[in-house]
Structure 1
Amino acid sequence: MTDDTPLIDLECQSHTYPDGTVGVHDIEFSVYPEEIVAVVGGNGSGKSTCLEHLNATLVPDEGRLVVHGTEITDENRELARSEVGFVFQDPDTQLVAPTVVDDVAFGLNNHGVTGEGALERARDALASVGASHLEERIPHYLSGGEKRLVGLAGVLAMEPSVIVLDEPFAGLDPERSAMVAERLRDIRAEEGISVVLSTHDLDTAADLADRVCVMADGNAIGGGTPREVFYDDALLDRANLTPPTPVRIARDVGLDASDRPPVTEAELVDHLGDGANKTRRAVAASDD
């Protein structure tokens, strides 16, 4: 599979829940190898519904899901479940075993991998998210950030090609949000696994994602790189979103007109540093 061939290709013209609520109206969504995609939008925009279609937890009323070039049907949904791991917003829904290592091995056990083989893969998965020290802990006594890492390890142990996370930073303090974000970067860089996540944290989305998909009223209304999306006022207005903090500051100090306006905190610092250096050079020249 080449880099221009999607791992996941979703076309969902509609999905209606059993109570008659329309979850999404119009979505075209693809995931490519070794990328991080952030899905952003306000409450009720359809983010979670979109994500749950990516591993066939939900299926379109109209449309189709293609995973690794194979269209998913009722007969082969297991392909979507095995290739696309899902980490739910509430980590407690995925914690079922008496110890962390047993919990991470639980999905493997259900797929016929048992004994020491399952435990070894579980330990490797915990190590990959920096959580080896939690192996013998009781899952329900972990902090929110630790639970997110254990849930992520449980999905990684299944060796998917894509990991989907619904609001992975919800309820976490900045330190633990940064910890989870760093592990997601590692997974993409070191494991070659693509990551899709929904989030309200646009600062983190700008810093973490290669691409951003914007949703509103059950529709995917636009997307692109973080720089393209977060400087598109019309698009953000349609989604009732406020640009990330670095973008707002850049506009306040006139950096939005530069060739590559800053979209992350690091880029903003670099721009401001360049400006200060230019000012110092100009002052020095005038003194001469």
Structure 2
Amino acid sequence: MIDGDDSGGSDDVTDPLVDLRCESHTYPDGTVGMCDVEFSVHADEVVALVGGNGAGKSTLLEHLNATLTPDEGELHVTGRRVTDEDPAHARREVGFVFQDADTQLVAPTVVDDVMFGLRNYGVPAEQARERAKAALETVDALHLQDRIPHYLSGGEKRLVGLAGVLVLEPSVIVLDEPLAGLDPQRSRLVADRIERIHEAGVSVVLSTHDLDFAAEIADRVCVMCDGNVVGRGPPREVFYDEELLARSNLHPPTAVRVAREAHLPTGSHPVTRSELVGLIDARAADTPRSSR
């Protein structure tokens, strides 16, 4: 388990796309949102941020594109320091999809909504429309282009929100609880599209209460508690750290719980359903028929 500096990985010597050092952030009512947080995002990775309610996950995410700024500390995005006077660079490079999709839906039709950001940047209407359609096609939502955004389902709104961020070609996409309120089928749909965006070369940072989802999708997991990042590392390290999860009020993913109950070999550490099934099948194959 790595605790402290968030370097992304022992073999990663590249500069991070996003590098946040926040000594403190306090809300106007005096609530401390974060303190002594170091958080980086590197190219070609998915980072899952997990923790209980009030742990500081949304506060951290909103610092990554300068929606919020540290009281003390600094943010660098693609090597450039971001200041309060000029947050535009962070907002171009770090696309943010909010948990409440309705906050990002502002236009009369889906295609108009997706092209809205491009038009604000001065992209001509026809070019913006073609890029918006391409972004919708990337998330398999082109069929929604003429729909009224506020009449969409929760899952459809999330896809449109993703397209609206993707069309701006950011280096990093940040998603706050992307599966919140979705049924299993729509959750799988949104998760698949997130994986597709990552495969296209965009780094992804997301917060989630669904540790099964985090185990499936993340290269790296960061655990938050009381406004701090209290642990981080690959899923198979983080999710087998019983002490860390307990003090953060988290229960391990299903595969971890079943692996323990099934007394699978120490060190196997499955964190996903497919890994668990593979280990159980392997153990069954190695068990003599007479002892079954």
Pair in the same fold by TM > 0.5? yes
TM-score, with structure 1 as normaliser: 0.95
Give 1:74 shift: 2.3
Indicate whether 1:272 and 2:280 are aligned.
yes
Q: Does 1:236 align with 2:245?
A: yes
Counterparts of 1:260 and 1:75, CA distance in 2: 50
Q: What is the SS of the residue equivalent to 2:283?
A: helix
- TM-score normalized by the length of structure 2: 0.94
Match in the other structure for 1:61: 71
CA shift digits 1:3-29 (9 cap, x unpaired): 622000001111011111111112110
SS of the residue aligned with 1:74?
A: coil
Q: 1:1-288 residue pairs with structure 2 within 5 A?
A: 4-190=14-200, 192-255=201-264, 257=266, 259-279=267-287, 282-283=288-289
Shift of 1:78: 0.6
Mapped contact 1:3–1:33 kept (Cα < 8 A): no
Structure 1, unmatched stretches of 5+, are none
CA spacing shift, 1:256–1:28, aligned 2, 3 Å = farther
Which protein has the bigger helix share? 1
- Cα drift, residue 175 of structure 1: 1.1
Q: Do the aligned residues in 2 keep the contact of 1:87 with 1:166 (CA within 8 Å)? A: yes
Greater than 6 Å deviation, 4+ residue runs: none
- 1:255, distance to aligned residue in structure 2 (A): 1.6
| Residue 168 of structure 1, CA deviation | 0.4
Cα shift readout 1:166-210 (whole Å, capped 9, x = no counterpart): 0000000111111111111111112x0000000000000000100
- 1:275 Cα deviation (Å)? 1.1
- SS of the residue corresponding to residue 68 of structure 2 reads coil
Q: Answer whether contact 2:69 2:84 (CA < 8 A) is retained.
A: no
SS in 2 for 1:204: helix
**For the aligned residues, what is the CA RMSD?**
1.2
**C-alpha distance in structure 1 between counterparts of 2:197 and 2:171, whole Å:** 11
Query: Contact between 2:51 and 2:225, CA under 8 Å: does it hold in 1?
Result: yes
1:90-118 per-residue CA deviation (whole Å, 9 max, x = no partner) reads 00000011110000001111111131100
SS at match of 1:159: coil
- For the residue of structure 1 that corresponds to 2:14, the secondary structure is coil
Residues 144-175 of structure 1, C-alpha deviations (whole Å, 9 max, x = no match): 00000000000001110000000000000111
Cα–Cα, structure 1 residues 3 and 140, in superposed 2: closer, same or farther, change >3 Å?
farther
SS in 2 for 1:26: strand
Structure 2: any 5+ residue segments left out of the alignment?
1-11
How far off its partner does 1:240 sit? 0.8
Tell me how far 1:141 sits from its aligned partner.
0.8
Q: Deviations over 1:242-276 (max 9, x none)?
A: 0011100000001261x332100111111111111
Q: Is the 8 A contact 1:255 1:262 kept in 2?
A: no
CA distance in 2, matches of 1:72, 1:226: 31
Q: Which amino acid aligns with 1:200?
A: H
